[in-house]
Amino acid sequence: MTDTGFAALTDTGFAALTDTGFAALIDLAAGALVLAAVLIVWRRDLGSIIRLLAWQGAALAAIPLIRGVHEGDAALILIGVAIAVLRTILLPWLLARALGAEHRGLRDATPLVNTTASLLIAALLTMTAFAVTRPVVDLDPGPATAAVPAAFAVVLIALFTMATRRHAISQAAGFLMLDNGIAAAAFLLTAGVPLIVELGASLDVLFAVIVIGVLTGRMRSKFGGADLDALHELRD
């Protein structure tokens, strides 16, 4: 649909969002991003983690879609659709396929930090994110910038996840969560990134997940699993 078509829809009120509705939907999407990150920290089952990652991808895709509808921007809507296809369907499917060949008894990602401590640290990281990004929010107050702390919280929680999970697939999930947080911050702080740039970044992520899937398969065939601690013990 052309920009003229979107403008016409906005003029008729069909695609228009009030400022209040826009703020509420952006807050909902940002809240879903953080909630998915916290639940990923909480869960140990890799299958559940992959499903939560798909949920987080849908929340990320909602941000440019909401902004595109609110501003009548066709490019943002196309980016939102592309992200929805890639991060809610394709990438989770690739991770689920890599997990499918794993022995059922090895489908848990036992963290280095216990669940209670992990949730407390996730809460602390979230509060830190809100404190650190306060100056950024105050520079340009608005519905979108007000949600930036949530995106930064996802980045911090993703780094914590990558540092405390030792299974290769859970490491890949942490990497994707990190990319989700960075992309969310970009969409909230600016009017979004150009379509070609977002597609290029998404293809890089897709390539990384494919490589991780191949390496996981090789590790499984050679060593019987993809637990990184087990590989360290084997090397020792």
Mean pLDDT of 67-93: 88
| Residue 44 or residue 190, greater confidence | 44
227 three-class SS: strand
Average pLDDT, the chain: 78
Answer yes or no: is pLDDT of 154 > 50: yes
**Sign of the Cα pseudo-torsion (198, 174, 143, 83, in order):** positive
pLDDT > 70 fraction of the chain, expressed in percent and rounded? 69
| Tens-place pLDDT, residues 160-188 | 998 888 777 788 888 889 889 988 988 88
Please enumerate in sequence order all residues whose Cβ is within 8 A of that of 43, keeping only pairs 6 or more positions apart, or say none. Answer: 49, 52
| Residue 197 or residue 1, greater confidence | 197
Orientation angle between helical segments 168-189 and 148-164, nearest 10 degrees: 160
Residue type, 137: V
Residue type, 142: G
User: Between vectors from CA 60 to CA 93 and to CA 127, what angle results, nearest 5°?
Assistant: 120
Pick the most confident of 29-38, 98-107, 112-121: 29-38
| Residue 92 or residue 17, greater confidence | 92
Mean pLDDT of 91-109: 68
Residue 8 pLDDT level (bands cut at 50, 70, 90) = very low
For residue 111, report the phi and psi dihedrals to the nearest 5 degrees.
-80, 160
Please enumerate in sequence order all residues whose Cβ is within 8 A of that of 221, keeping only pairs 6 or more positions apart, or say none. Answer: none
Alpha helices in 72-227 (DSSP H): 74-85, 91-100, 115-132, 134-139, 148-164, 168-189, 195-223
The pLDDT assigned to 131 comes to 94
Distance between CA atoms of residues 223 and 186, nearest Å: 40
Mean pLDDT of 119-133: 95
- The pTM assigned to this predicted structure is 0.78
Answer yes or no: is pLDDT of 127 > 80: yes
Residues paired with residue 167 on neighbouring β-strands, in sequence order:
227
Answer yes or no: is pLDDT of 22 > 80: yes
Answer yes or no: is pLDDT of 11 > 50: no
Please enumerate in sequence order all residues whose Cβ is within 8 A of that of 196, keeping only pairs 6 or more positions apart, or say none. Answer: none
| Tens-place pLDDT, residues 198-229 | 555 555 666 566 655 555 555 555 555 545 45
Answer yes or no: is pLDDT of 32 > 90: yes
